[in-house]
A and B are shown apart, each in its own frame.
Chain A
Amino acid sequence: MLPLLAALPAIFSTVSKVSNLFGKGKAVVEQVTGKPSEASSPDELQEEVESLTPEQQAQWAQTMQQKIDLYKTENDRLDIEIGRITPELQSKLTPEAANKIAIMRQTTRPWAVRMMVHYTFFPFYLVLFDSIQLTITHWFGISEARVFKTFNYVFGTLTIKDMDTPALEKFSALLSQPQNLTLAAEMYMNSIGWVISVIISYMTLREIGKAKGTSGDELTHQQNNPSGAVGLTQGGLGLVNKVKAAFGKK
């Protein structure tokens, strides 16, 4: 148990650098102790963990180590998918080029792109939300219930007075006529072009990566040294096979 406890400083160091891991650290504290963590900073989390019993600390450290490993694996995959920028390479770039790359790396993170896709569909989500409200009040006959017209609230009034005009045309007119624009609609219209460009750029980069393939890549350490199930399927004589052989003898 002691060596596991000795690994705690390294775990805290990693947790303090990654906000996502900080959140997971709090969740693991709750998992271990049964009580929600009250830490609002990595330092407080460290104090909280250090106040646990050695057994609980060991359990926390072990679970967190697995989460950190998973995080590292995911980031390695991102490095490979997006393009690895090493400190050596960055040191040879001009500050402007390095900045551009930094921005590209931030904007092409899959989670950011996912959020941008949601952002693109935001007006349709509002329409959907309004429809759900109307459907519920209609189905349950709650005629007195107040329906919030969220789309109108955010983007301005969208009413179909003239049924001869297609709804899509009215929608387009609503967003394209400057006098109709609310502040939110104006912000949305100004940003959507950039958002779509980022999404398209990301997808293009991914397609380029796919087309490039991995034929020239070197094998990783793990691929060179298969273990466990991989070792078995590749016919290697790993420890697992030795164990099986040892049990098979008697």
Chain B
Amino acid sequence: MASRSLDDLAPEVKQKAERVLQVCDEVELNLLIYCTLRTLEEQSKLYRQSRSWQEIKTKILKYKDRGFSYLADILDGVGPCNGPHVTNAGPGESWHNYAEAWDAVPLMGGKPAWKYSDGKEEWDAYGECVVQVGMDWAGNWTHFRERPHAQLRSGSNPLRIFAPDKIYEILSQNKLI
């Protein structure tokens, strides 16, 4: 289960999240941050739980071919897992794995306004907060708009953006590896 604690975020991201919450409080916008960190091990377990060993082996080889041996080791190391199919993302393929992203929803009358139409102004205000603190708001994406999602760096899949060394450096900086 992914964490919803701000303490699990990378220090810079945590600071930004706190600033967002502070401003939302000032303007009387209730905001709930409901997802912060999902560790590489958790992501690996979820990825493995609906896949055959053959599929896992292929994924591990892909990681190794692309220079992500440390992610291949994590995927290999969590061992066999059982459960339904829950994700298409392997370890390292979501910014939540790097403690650099959060998901939040505005609350209206104590209830989350999941629908944009239920709280356009609130969603826009939340998006403005995210942008103002220098994060990338997925509500501005054109391909797959995901208004709750905010991340420190741009790009949907970190492994497609950064080289293995850079990814390793980010994970080390965030003390996740």
Which single member of A53, A56, A62 contacts B114 (CB below 8 Å)?
A: A62
Contact residue range for chain A? 20 to 34
Interface residues of A in 60-78 (CB under 8 A from B): 61-62, 65-66, 69
Min distance, Cβ B148 to any Cβ of chain A, angstroms: 8
Chain A residue contacts of B128, Cβ below 8 A: 240, 243-244
| Cβ contacts B101-132/A at 8 Å (1 or 0 each) | 00000000001101111001110110011001
A63 to B54, CA, bound (A): 32
In the complex, are the beta carbons of B86 and A61 less than 8 A apart? no
Query: Are A246 and B27 closer than 8 Å at their CB atoms?
Result: yes
A246: chain B residues at CB < 8 Å are 23, 26-27
Q: Beyond A35-B85, A56-B86, is A239–B121 a contact (Cβ under 8 Å)?
A: yes
Interface positions of A from 200 to 248, Cβ below 8 Å from B? 227-229, 231, 238-240, 242-244, 246-247
Q: What's the Cα separation between A243 and B87 when bound, in Å?
A: 35
A2 CB to nearest chain B CB (Å): 9
Q: A53-B86, A55-B86, A231-B121 are known contacts. Are A61 and B114 too (CB-CB below 8 A)? A: yes
Asked if A34 CB lies within 8 Å of chain B CBs, one says yes
A51 to chain B, nearest CB (A): 7
Given contacts A231-B121, A240-B125, A243-B125, contact A7 B86 (CB under 8 A): no
Chain A stretch 1-40: residues in CB contact (< 8 A) with chain B: 1, 3-4, 7, 33-35
**Cβ–Cβ < 8 Å partners of A7 in chain B:** 114-115
Closest to A242 in B: B27
Q: How far is the CA of A135 from the CA of B103 in the complex (A)?
A: 56
Look across to chain A and name the residue whose beta carbon is closest to the beta carbon of B23: A246
Alpha-carbon distance A65/B147, docked complex (angstroms): 13
Q: Number of contacting residues on B, CB 8 A?
A: 28
Q: Does any Cβ of A come within 8 Å of B142's Cβ?
A: no
Give Cα A1 to B88, complex, Å: 19
Q: How far is the CB of B88 from chain A (nearest CB, A)?
A: 4
Closest to B121 in A: A227
Cross-chain contact A53 with B115 (CB below 8 angstroms)? no
A3-B114 in contact given A53-B86, A227-B124, A231-B121 (Cβ < 8 Å): yes
A249-B24 Cα distance, complex, nearest whole Å: 14
A239 touches B116 (CB 8 A): no
Instruction: Report which of B114, B129, B146, B148 forms a contact with A243, defined as CB distance below 8 A.
Output: B129
The smallest C-beta distance from B103 to any residue of chain A, in angstroms, reads: 9
Docked complex Cα distance between A192 and B87 (Å): 52
Q: Produce 1/0 per residue, B126-146, CB < 8 A to A.
A: 001100100000000000011
B84 within 8 A of A: yes
Taking the nearest CB of chain A, how far is it from the CB of B144, in angstroms? 8
Give CA–CA (A231, B120) in the complex, Å: 11
Whether the pair B114, A33 counts as a contact (CB closer than 8 A) is: no
B146 and chain A: residue at smallest CB distance: A62
Q: Are A227 and B112 in contact (CB under 8 A)?
A: no
Do residues B114 and A228 form an inter-chain contact, with CB atoms below 8 A? no
Q: Which A residue's beta carbon lies closest to that of B88?
A: A34
Instruction: Return the chain A residue nearest B86 by Cβ.
Output: A53
Task: Tell whether, in the assembled complex, residue B132 and residue A243 are in contact, meaning their CB atoms are under 8 Å apart.
Answer: yes
Distance in angstroms from B170 CB to nearest chain A CB is 24
Q: Contacts of B112 on A, CB cut-off 8 Å? A: 3-4
Contacts of A56 in B (CB 8 A): 86
Interface positions of A (Cβ within 8 A of B): 1, 3-4, 7, 33-35, 51-53, 55-56, 61-62, 65-66, 69, 227-229, 231, 238-240, 242-244, 246-247
8 A-B pairs with CB atoms under 8 Å apart are A3-B114, A52-B84, A231-B121, A239-B125, A240-B125, A242-B27, A243-B24, A243-B129
